[in-house]
Structure 1
Amino acid sequence: MMGERTVMQEALFYSFRIEDHVPGDHLLRAIDRFVDLTGIREYLKPFYSSMGRPSIDPELMVRMLIIGYCMGIRSERRLCEEVHLNLAYRWFCRLDLEGSVPDHSTFSKNRHGRFRDSDLLRKLFEMTVERCMAEGLVGAEGFAVDASLIRADVHRQRSVSGEEGLPPEAAGRAVAEYLEVLDDAAFGGSTPVPPKRINITDPAARWTAATRERAFYAYSTNYLIDLDHAVIVDVEATTAIRQAEVLAQRRMIERTQDRFGLWPEKLVADTAYGSAPNLAWLVEERGIEPHIPVFEKSARNNGTFERSAFTYDHEDDSYICPGGNRLRRSNRNFSTPRSGIDKDGSIRYRARQQDCQACALRQRCTPNIPARKVTRSVHEGARDLTREITASDAFLVSSRQRKKVEMLFAHLKRILKLDRLRLRGPNGAKDEFHLAAAAQNLRKLAKMKPMPGLATA
């Protein structure tokens, strides 16, 4: 017999609890255990007026932002719609069925105002780090650092040559933020070389061709992670060049030590962080073992002897060439002693011209110039220590562990959908990177500390 559709009739009373309709294994249930925002109102109290109408609850907005970044919802307009319709989202935001969802424009107004003035999103991220430490997920024996390019929200064609600079008609919040950070070493002051192109919409975004794709405008998100469980212990937004990324590594290590008291024994990174000044900073100032390939520029492709063929004599402060002759800082005495250190922090050791002329190995050593020269960094001691570490078995283990930070970047772009920024300007990049790193730490907590009574995969 053919059935008939039952026409819905409105009941006078409903017995309904959102709690009963959120699955026990829902991701937000697992995350909610680690979200404690009881101190948010007190923290933001100085940034609210004591007069006027009550504002939107800041805890509600923060919980909605956590949902957006944990679930990969990139649009705040769509986020408001999802929270309005989804029972699990309402439960996480502490909204009942009749609770009203704030308008999407509320987020923009608070972000450009009290959220940035109070550095709230930075505090939110640090709260997740503290919770990871309390749960025993941070060992602090070894850290890894790396950076990844995130596309800026700009159009390629709205740009001018870097030598010309910004046109007089360029205006907007992103332009004002760019002018404020021109002297910041993480952005405009990181290098004296002018950028090839400057985008009018977001001048702080850097034109880069560091990937196999076509060149694009981007920011760099820098992660400092603990190697035990790949917890992000610090995050920094910079312009997309190597000098700024190395500076971000130093800032993150210093901030982690000051804020959380974490002193790692070793730091794992790729060759971009293997410059002599950076290795000396890690070894001599911070006492950290650099598990980093040394950045070498002494390689030769013409078949002549490389610098590694010359032996350094510490007692005599000279190099011995393959032919047995010595290379010194100077082969004559000066009435006024000279340091022999160049502006780039390197020392040049020179062989005597008569020694090279009579040497049987001259064609394999210096066929085109009268005498051979060898440069040595003033930080060569840190470089030598790093070379010893990279030749050990421990470095092989560190090289495999370094992939953990790369996996976090893949998760950031593929799962959290942050392959392109939605906000503009340096502050917009900071906001997005802080929220994304906080979301990744919360998801890490939910994975490593499963709900009691639930079977784990």
Structure 2
Amino acid sequence: MRGKTIHQGAMFSYVSLEDRIPKNHPLRQLRLLVDAVLASMDKEFEAAYAQTGRPSVPPERLLKAMLLQILFTIRSERLLVESIDYNLLYRWFVGLAIDDPVWDHSTFSANRERLFNEGLARVFFERVKGLADWRRLTSSEYFSVDGTLIDAWASHKSFRPKDGDGPRPPGRNPEVDFKGRSRANDTHVSTTDPEARLFKKAEGTASRLCHMSHVLMENRNGLVVDVATTLATGKAERQAALKLLARHAKRGATVGADKGYDTADFVAGCRRLGVTPHVARKKTGSAIDGRTTRHAGYQTSLKVRKRIEEAFGWLKTVAGLRKTRLIGQAKLAGQALLCFAAYNLVRIGSLSGWWDAQHV
């Protein structure tokens, strides 16, 4: 018999969020891990807040909401808050009851410098990495390193001479022709994001205003062990890579990298740290000789290092960080750390079997 559509709502409804979420849903395991990490950050949260005043939105809920935005590719904080309001899964994940009101989207902006700065984001990232270390999912001997460009929240029209010379086009969004004009970071600066740099990573590609993010990956399971955000310059990748290696690599470790790292300064820097540079060789003028390439581990490192592109691909497609929506390197540094922490959580879930079809 055909069912009838009934528009009259029930007078009472008893909804248990815990019952609505499937017992084998992968976010159950993820929430357990995230709650454990956030519980270990209690001292850091206490230090970030005053002891008096009105109670704020719990920082644990805000951080878990940011993880939802990254994991489910939610394009804005306004849409994130709207989704939490009506999505029972999201409400359950952040810890809201069915009748609890959701905070305003401006709460994220108000807490940006307090909660989503590089300091607290790095603590969260390190605690997530500590979970992977505890599960023996990481390697302390074999690494890969690479950098990627993150488009700045600034247009080419904002890249203007530092001395203020030159015509200023009238109107809010004027037509501008850059043909024949010389523009360089030494003489020009973005009026929207002064820390953005006009840069291109390879010949034949378009220059764009951007920042640079660098990643050190361990080779056993492709987990990210450290992240750095810098200005986009020609030497930034190699300089940041040496700093990351100095923080994590022990003597005798190896590091895989692409041809952009095949320079005398980077190879010498690795050898000073006691790290063997497994760098892809240039056709001419290579700083890598037969002492390195003759070993079987060299070819293995070159093959495994390509896995780092999976992290960058996830960062730009799923996490939505192809172009940052924030202004300045400091805010981007915190954003990148949260995104790569989420990536590591996804990798831990994959290695633990949470995302298998039978668990969804």
TM-score, length-normalised on structure 2? 0.86
Aligned residues of 1:30 and 1:450 also touching (Cα < 8 A):
no
CA distance in 1, matches of 2:148, 2:164: 26
Deviation at 1:456, TM superposition (A): 7.0
CA distance in 2, matches of 1:265, 1:46: 37
1:229 corresponds to: 221
| Matched residue type, 1:271 | K
Asked if 1:435 is matched to 2:338, the reply is yes
| Cα distance, 1:80–1:401 mapped onto 2, change above 3 Å | same
2:93 corresponds to: 92
CA distance in 2, matches of 1:270, 1:390: 14
1:69 corresponds to: 70
TM-score, length-normalised on structure 1? 0.68
Deviation at 1:401, TM superposition (A): 0.5
| Cα distance, 1:452–1:107 mapped onto 2, change above 3 Å | closer
CA distance in 2, matches of 1:229, 1:402: 11
For residues 76-126 of structure 1, the C-alpha deviation after alignment (integer angstroms, 9 at most, x for no partner) is 11111111111111111111101222211111111123543x811111111
1:105 corresponds to: 106
1:15 corresponds to: 14
Aligned residues of 1:31 and 1:445 also touching (Cα < 8 A):
no
CA distance in 1, matches of 2:198, 2:70: 26
1:130 corresponds to: 130
Q: 1:206 aligns with which of 181, 184, 197?
A: 197
| Cα distance, 1:282–1:165 mapped onto 2, change above 3 Å | farther
2:40 corresponds to: 39
1:282 corresponds to: 270
| Cα distance, 1:270–1:196 mapped onto 2, change above 3 Å | farther
* Higher alpha-carbon deviation: 193-202 or 419-428: 193-202
| Cα distance, 1:396–1:456 mapped onto 2, change above 3 Å | farther
Partner of 2:217: helix, strand, or coil?
strand
Q: 2:248 aligns with which of 256, 260, 276?
A: 256
Partner of 2:156: helix, strand, or coil?
coil
Deviation at 1:67, TM superposition (A): 1.0
1:269 corresponds to: 257
Aligned residues of 1:275 and 1:294 also touching (Cα < 8 A):
no
Q: 1:388 aligns with which of 288, 291, 313?
A: 291
2:230 corresponds to: 238
Give aligned-pair identity as a percent: 27
Aligned residues of 1:275 and 1:295 also touching (Cα < 8 A):
no
Aligned residues of 1:197 and 1:207 also touching (Cα < 8 A):
no
CA distance in 2, matches of 1:417, 1:390: 38
Aligned residues of 1:143 and 1:227 also touching (Cα < 8 A):
yes
Deviation at 1:47, TM superposition (A): 2.6
Aligned residues of 1:294 and 1:387 also touching (Cα < 8 A):
no
CA distance in 2, matches of 1:298, 1:440: 37
> Structure 2: any 5+ residue segments left out of the alignment?
166-183
| Cα distance, 1:396–1:2 mapped onto 2, change above 3 Å | closer
For residues 315-360 of structure 1, the C-alpha deviation after alignment (integer angstroms, 9 at most, x for no partner) is xxxxxxxxxxxxxxxxxxxxxxxxxxxxxxxxxxxxxxxxxxxxxx
CA distance in 2, matches of 1:388, 1:453: 43
CA distance in 1, matches of 2:197, 2:85: 38
CA distance in 1, matches of 2:74, 2:244: 28
Aligned residues of 2:280 and 2:302 also touching (Cα < 8 A):
no
CA distance in 2, matches of 1:394, 1:441: 25
> How many aligned positions are there?
339
CA distance in 2, matches of 1:398, 1:126: 25
| Cα distance, 1:207–1:15 mapped onto 2, change above 3 Å | same
Deviation at 1:214, TM superposition (A): 2.8
Equivalent positions of 1:353-364 (< 5 A) are none
CA distance in 1, matches of 2:247, 2:314: 25
For residues 41-61 of structure 1, the C-alpha deviation after alignment (integer angstroms, 9 at most, x for no partner) is 321212322221111111111
Q: 2:325 aligns with which of 416, 422, 444?
A: 422
CA distance in 1, matches of 2:142, 2:265: 21
CA distance in 1, matches of 2:337, 2:252: 22
Partner of 2:123: helix, strand, or coil?
helix
Structure ranking higher on relative contact order (CA contacts 8 Å, 6+ apart): 2
Deviation at 1:413, TM superposition (A): 1.5
CA distance in 1, matches of 2:305, 2:329: 27
Asked if 1:410 is matched to 2:316, the reply is no
